[in-house]
Amino acid sequence: MTDVDQKFINSRLDALHNDIHDMRQALRDLSAAITKLALVEERLVQTSASIDRAFKAVEKIADRVSTLERNGVDSLRVSRWVDRVIWGILVGVGVYIAKHTQLL
């Protein structure tokens, strides 16, 4: 083998060595990126689960609010009737007192 052939083979081996080194570095970078991607995916799953729990809680609260609103309307009706009964009793007592004190 001539000296030129030896230099050519050495230069090709050096280039191959550099290429393999670059490939190893790229694989390390890819490995780090995949690890970060897995962490992001895990956090995304946790966030999604948290959002689902929050929506379920909001739905429960909305159901409770609608129940309270329905009960509030019924309570208002009852309250009006109680007010009318109390006023009726007061008027009756007032008329009774007025008759017995001879104001009427």
The mean pLDDT value of the chain amounts to 90
Per residue in 41-76, pLDDT (tens digit) is: 999 999 999 999 999 999 999 999 998 888 777 777
pLDDT value of residue 2: 84
Is the distance from CB of 104 to CB of 98 less than 8 angstroms? Answer: yes
Non-local CB neighbours of 6 within 8 Å, separated by 6+ positions: none
pLDDT value of residue 19: 92
Q: Would you give the distance in Å from CA 64 to the centre of its chain? A: 18
DSSP string, the chain: --HHHHHHHHHHHHHHHHHHHHHHHHHHHHHHHHHHHHHHHHHHHHHHHHHHHHHHHHHHHHHHHHHHHHHHHHHHHHHHHHHHHHHHHHHHHHHHHHHHTT--
